[in-house]
């Protein structure tokens, strides 16, 4: 065996500070971007800010209306995640889950959507959510109100089966005041039911509770307009200053010259990155909107077109991770409401004819069928699946129908039956 020196050439992408910052800009919300620009201007004597940007009526999007605390809780979760004993891969995925949380602290996606979104096995989702729910505030990462109530019960000294069953299956009966009927179903006394209900009323409804109505205000990142038969996305520029490079006329020594040279490079990079961010965001957002015009034409009541990160990435010729960062926690304001940009991503099911329909559309059909059913003979999950197959040519299993029904928070057929 001979020992010696050998030269080997490899190609490696070095993640510089500038590159990391350029990538992070895509994740910034409208208000985060304004704050970032202001911070850069304070640190760089060659940067000059001018004006408050263009856009809509100043009364509609004002910086002061935006809740400063709304970004602090997410940053706090990311900092807590760094303290956990996680692999770099698990930390990365946990960070993505944190970025995907809505403003109430819930994850607005199913297991399947999260697995598809982050290219994970289904078995990895629940352990990651378990880690997330243990962070402060406890319970962030629950899917909905019901799961969050159950989480609080399981973490408390009041962890009894009656309370959990009431939350899981009988909240409509509680709301209707059917306490005796509920006591009979659970084979307990009315007093036990009342005790459980009183405890449930002390629980928080969601992980994140705004301190005031103004703190729940969301500044949109995009505006959507309809003109001449088409939808056009534009960036919200309200409150965002224009950035310029200014001259520095004071005399400096050699060390000062080097500092100003670095400042000029950072200022040039910032201006280029801001423009690149704008172009990327508009390209991605417009591509998404163009795929969902049928839904928009019906004023958010039409069927979603099946759409994934991969499809959009191929359309705009970008990496999936770039698209994911671009849509994360971004909001679009239209003439009929405010919506999250990533809500347009939805999985698909096949029809008998080989076409695809979105899972959201199937959920709407299930909800419609149940609304119109005979309440004395409610439709079973298997009957719903059969009707979808025969009436709409949609291939769907009984198990999938049950899952969609539960996501819609609709009880099973025995619990919907009127006697």
Torsion sign across C-alpha atoms 228, 229, 233, 238: positive
The domain segmentation of the chain, as residue ranges, is: 16-56+218-340, 145-200, 348-416
Structure tokens at 366: 């299930």
Calculated CA dihedral for residues 177, 179, 185, 188, nearest 10 degrees:
160
> What's the pLDDT tens digit per position in 252-285?
778 878 888 888 988 998 998 999 999 999 999 9
Q: Tell me: the pLDDT tens digits for 354-371?
A: 556 667 778 878 888 888
Which helix (H) or strand (E) covers residue 222, if one does? strand 222-227
Kindly indicate the confidence band of residue 307, based on its pLDDT and cuts at 50, 70 and 90: confident
Spell 320-339 as b/e; 16+ CB within 10 A means b: bebbbbbbbbbbbbbeeeeb
The yes-or-no verdict on residue 246 having pLDDT over 70 is yes
Calpha distance 103→212 (Å, rounded): 14
- pLDDT category at 320 given cuts 50, 70, 90 is confident
Among 150, 158, 128, 152, which residue's Cα sits nearest to residue 138? 152
Assessment of whether the complete model's pTM goes beyond 0.85: no
pLDDT tens digit sequence for 92-139: 889 888 888 888 888 888 888 888 877 888 888 899 999 999 888 889
Question: Contact, 346 vs 358, CB < 8 A?
Answer: yes
CA separation for the pair 387, 283 (Å, rounded): 40
**Is the omega angle on the peptide bond into residue 100 within 30 degrees of 0, that is, cis?**
no
**How many whole angstroms separate alpha carbon 252 and alpha carbon 92?**
44
Which CATH architecture best describes the domain 348-416? Orthogonal Bundle (1.10)
Q: Report the alpha-carbon distance of residue 125 to residue 305 in Å, rounded.
A: 25
- As a whole number of Å, the end-to-end CA separation of the chain is 87
Query: What is the distance between the alpha carbons of residues 378 and 411, in angstroms, rounded to a whole number?
Result: 11
Which residue blocks in 63-144 are alpha helix, DSSP H? Answer: 69-82, 88-100, 111-118, 122-133
Residue 66's region, left for phi above 0, alpha for psi from -120 to 50, else beta, is: beta
The CA distance from 86 to 95, in Å, is: 11
Spatial CB neighbours of 271, under 8 Å, sequence gap ≥ 6: 243, 245
């Amino acid at each position: 065996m001979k020992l010696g020196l050998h030269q080997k050439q490899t190609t490696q992408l070095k993640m510089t500070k500038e590159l990391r910052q350029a990538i992070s800009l895509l994740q910034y919300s409208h208000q985060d971007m304004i704050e970032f620009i202001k911070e850069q201007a304070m640190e760089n004597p060659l940067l000059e800010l001018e004006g408050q940007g263009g856009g809509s009526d100043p009364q509609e999007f004002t910086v002061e209306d935006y809740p400063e605390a709304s970004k602090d809780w997410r940053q706090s979760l990311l900092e807590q995640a760094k303290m956990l004993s996680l692999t770099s891969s698990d930390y990365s995925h946990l960070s993505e889950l944190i970025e995907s949380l809505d403003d109430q602290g819930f994850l607005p996606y199913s297991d399947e959507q999260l697995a598809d979104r982050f290219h994970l096995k289904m078995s990895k989702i629940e352990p990651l959510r378990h880690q997330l729910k243990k962070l402060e505030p406890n319970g962030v990462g629950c899917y909905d109100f019901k799961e969050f109530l159950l989480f609080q019960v399981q973490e408390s000294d009041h962890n009894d089966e009656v309370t959990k069953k009431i939350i899981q299956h009988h909240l409509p009966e509680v709301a209707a005041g059917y306490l005796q009927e509920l006591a009979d179903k659970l084979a307990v006394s009315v007093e036990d039911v009342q005790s459980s209900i009183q405890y449930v009323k002390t629980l928080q409804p969601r992980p994140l509770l705004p301190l005031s109505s103004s703190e729940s205000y969301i500044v949109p990142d995009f505006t959507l307009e309809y003109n001449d038969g088409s939808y056009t996305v534009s960036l919200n520029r309200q409150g965002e200053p224009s950035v310029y490079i200014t001259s520095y006329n004071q005399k400096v020594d050699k060390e000062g010259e080097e500092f100003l040279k670095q400042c000029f490079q950072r200022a040039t990079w910032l201006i280029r990155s801001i423009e690149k961010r704008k172009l990327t965001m508009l390209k991605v957002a417009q591509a998404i909107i163009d795929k969902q015009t049928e839904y928009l034409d019906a004023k958010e009541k039409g069927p979603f077109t099946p759409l994934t990160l991969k499809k959009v990435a191929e359309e705009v010729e970008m990496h999936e991770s770039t698209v994911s960062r671009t849509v994360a926690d971004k909001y679009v304001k239209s003439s009929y409401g405010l919506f999250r940009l990533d809500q347009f991503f939805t999985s698909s099911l096949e029809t008998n004819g080989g076409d695809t329909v979105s899972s959201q559309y199937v959920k709407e059909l299930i909800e419609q069928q149940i609304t119109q059913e005979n309440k004395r003979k409610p439709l079973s999950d298997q009957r719903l699946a059969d009707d979808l197959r025969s009436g709409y040519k949609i291939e769907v299993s009984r198990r999938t129908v049950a899952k969609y029904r539960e996501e819609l928070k609709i009880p099973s057929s025995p619990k919907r039956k009127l006697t």
